[in-house]
Amino acid sequence: MVHEVIVFAGLMPHAPILVPGVGGERLGEASATARAMTTVASHALSARPDTLVLISPHSPRQPGAFGLWRTRRLRGSLDRFGSPDDEVDLPLDRTFAERFETEAIRSGLRTWEISHGPLDHGAIVPLCYLHTAGWSGSTVIVSLNYPGDGGIETLGRALTVTAKALSRRIAIIASGDMSHRLTPSAPAGYDPEARHFDESFIELLRSGAYRDIGRLDPEQQERAAEDVVDSTWVALAACDYRTDGHEVLSYEGPFGVGYGVAILFEPRDRSTVAPADLDQGKRTLSKFDDLPAVARRALEAEFAGGPGAPPFQAGGELAEPHGVFVTVRTDTGELRGCRGTLEAKEADLIHETWHNAVAGALHDYRFPPMEAADLPRMKFSVTVLGALEPAASEADLDPAVYGVVVTAADGRKGVLLPGIGGIDSVEQQLAITRHKAGIAPDEWITMQRFRARCFKEPGFVEERG
């Protein structure tokens, strides 16, 4: 059932003036909105989610594709709005983001990774309220495609499928402001249709006529200059349009922009799927040779509905951050998956290996996702990367010593690890790496090299030829 994994859904506006450090005395003109946002944040946290999913209409967009923030930490502040102290710094739930990307692609959607830059105010403003309420946990932030591109309902359903697959309790926050043209002094100018849009939208939420949100007049939406419909629609679709506990907490437009705050879904029965912890305590691991066992344990936990984070703590040489690639092969040497990070995205090698093991086994799109029954036949290797260095020419490369990264002018990038059996020349190394990235043999590239150390499970073998 939906409420086993979706434990809360809410709508919050994102105008920076709604944050006390930006709004100052003027926030008193929107006090009803601020109080309602505090209520939504409190209800979201009281649902005890494992992961918070926020849909922001101001995160970077691409036509025809939904974006997923994939930075190591989700950071941003309202510095450009005059309040640098209003900031957020939250851990990304990488496992959820990777599985969500897989489910979206399986559903026929296109996705892309937002891999750099600070968070937008569409994410920061709601997160400031959630942070004040006590949220510091795993978070996923989703950006939308272009208006009219479609796929909104499908994206919402993919959220639910992901949460069920991972046995995650998730709270969803739709970030969105309503009409931006309520008054002649409004930031986008004035349009008399703007207020009619707000009235229609709020009435749908009040009455629980959620499925009608997709039937709103597109022309009226455009005239209103709103950015609330699509993000709200994603949340409603994820909840299968259920209306348990729904309530419009506030609506006002003191600055010419409509601010609606609502509880969209709050199940009365909060019984949940509680993943069993596979370890009673955290054991310290400190040797590189421990990493293949960490990779295997990550998949055991994944298939058992266990912890989304490693039940180990890093000590010794594992306490340093490095890029890591995890390779999965069958016991006869057939490649089954390989994913990794060129530079560290986690605080230590245990966390880096844990996340990349799940990615390699379940999210390498060259292969179907591994299933629990496959695990006994699989062997893991973990490659720990050194620093990236520029390679000016082929003379700087050696496939036995250095891995290589090639990058085309438009950002397409291919990576090949060092020491792969059957790759004996730089020409082979570059040809394979170009092919992996879809870069033609005659295209201009830049090259980087890196040293690496590989640690293998007993019995790990590679096919040759």
Q: Which residues fall within 8 angstroms of residue 457, CB to CB, at 6 or more apart?
A: 292, 293, 296, 379, 380, 381
For the cut 80, the answer to whether the pLDDT of residue 273 exceeds it is: no
* Same-domain check for residues 433 and 389: yes
d(CA 114, CA 201): 30
Does residue 436 sit within a domain? yes
d(CA 454, CA 355): 17
Element (H, E) at 104: helix 94-106
* Same-domain check for residues 7 and 90: yes
> What angle do helix axes 291-304 and 349-362 make, rounded to 10 degrees?
60
* Same-domain check for residues 326 and 218: no
* Same-domain check for residues 245 and 364: no
pLDDT band at 347 (very low <50, low <70, confident <90, very high): confident
Does residue 465 sit within a domain? no
φ, ψ at 372 (rounded to 5°) = -55, -35
* Same-domain check for residues 129 and 254: yes
- pTM assigned to the model: 0.64
For the cut 60, the answer to whether the pLDDT of residue 1 exceeds it is: no
> How large is the average pLDDT for residues 329-356?
92
* Same-domain check for residues 255 and 311: no
Per-residue pLDDT tens over the stretch 15-28: 999 999 999 999 99
CATH number assigned to the domain comprising residue 411: 3.30.700.20
Residues 55 and 172 sit within 8 Å (Cβ to Cβ): yes
Does residue 271 sit within a domain? no
For the cut 60, the answer to whether the pLDDT of residue 227 exceeds it is: yes
Does residue 276 sit within a domain? no
Structural domain ending residue among the three candidates 235, 265, 295: 265
* Same-domain check for residues 401 and 255: no
* Same-domain check for residues 253 and 288: no
Q: DSSP state, 117?
A: S
Q: Is residue 289 helix, strand or coil?
A: helix
Does residue 440 sit within a domain? yes
Instruction: Look at strands 66-69 and 138-143 and give their pairing.
Output: antiparallel
pLDDT at 279: 39
Per-residue pLDDT tens over the stretch 281-311: 467 888 899 999 999 999 988 887 766 678 8
Structural domain ending residue among the three candidates 205, 239, 265: 265
The one-letter amino acid at 4: E
For the cut 50, the answer to whether the pLDDT of residue 339 exceeds it is: yes
Does residue 78 sit within a domain? yes
Q: Which residues pair with 445 in a beta bridge?
A: 408
Per-residue pLDDT tens over the stretch 429-454: 999 999 988 999 999 999 999 999 99
More confident residue, 461 or 383: 383
Structural domain ending residue among the three candidates 265, 294, 311: 265
Q: How many domains does the chain have?
A: 2
Does residue 165 sit within a domain? yes
* Same-domain check for residues 317 and 398: yes
> How large is the average pLDDT for residues 148-164?
95
Does residue 272 sit within a domain? no
* Same-domain check for residues 88 and 229: yes
pLDDT at 278: 36
pLDDT at 221: 94
Range of the domain at 331: 283-456
Percent of the chain clearing pLDDT 70 (strictly above): 95
Q: Where are the alpha helices (DSSP H) in 345-463?
A: 349-362, 426-437
* Same-domain check for residues 201 and 115: yes
The answer to whether the Cα torsion of 346, 347, 352, 355 is positive or negative is: negative
pLDDT band at 460 (very low <50, low <70, confident <90, very high): confident
* Same-domain check for residues 45 and 164: yes
CATH number assigned to the domain comprising residue 133: 3.40.830.10
For the cut 70, the answer to whether the pLDDT of residue 457 exceeds it is: yes
pLDDT at 364: 86
